[in-house]
Amino acid sequence: MKDIMRDELAAPKIVDRSTFQTELDALRVREKALTHEGDAIAAARRRLHMVEVDPTIKLTGPHGPVTLLDAFEGRRPRIRRTAQTLQNGGTQGVHLSSQPSASLAAFA
């Protein structure tokens, strides 16, 4: 008799325990390799060089133009790199932070 429910769901075939375990073990090897590769990429990203940012660069704040230096009100900014994948495949994203100031709050 045909199992209609299994056909509709396109469920995997039923196999013996040994076959299942063999395939599961193979998947775990692949998953472990993927985890190690992801860890290596993350470590390489953390080691990326830094780029000096011109503190006189102009930003548009809630009350008009302000320099990056003025936005931080003399505090040293901490820069956190973030990556956001764009629709065209590129990435963007840099988050500047210090103790939040009123002039910087508009950029969050």
Cα(22)–Cα(41) distance, rounded to whole angstroms? 29
Q: Is 27 helix (H, G, I), strand (E, B) or coil?
A: helix
Structural domain boundaries in the chain: 4-46, 58-105
pLDDT of residue 77: 64
pLDDT of residue 107: 47
Q: b/e for 44-78, b at 16 or more Cβ within 10 A?
A: eeeeeeeeeeeeeeebebeeeebebebbbeeeebe
pLDDT of residue 68: 78
Decide if 48 contacts 80 (C-beta within 8 A). no
Whether the model clears a pTM of 0.85, i.e. scores above it, the answer is no
pLDDT of residue 108: 45
Decide if 44 contacts 68 (C-beta within 8 A). no
Mean pLDDT by 10 residues, the chain (108 residues): 63 94 97 96 87 80 82 68 55 48 45
pLDDT of residue 79: 60
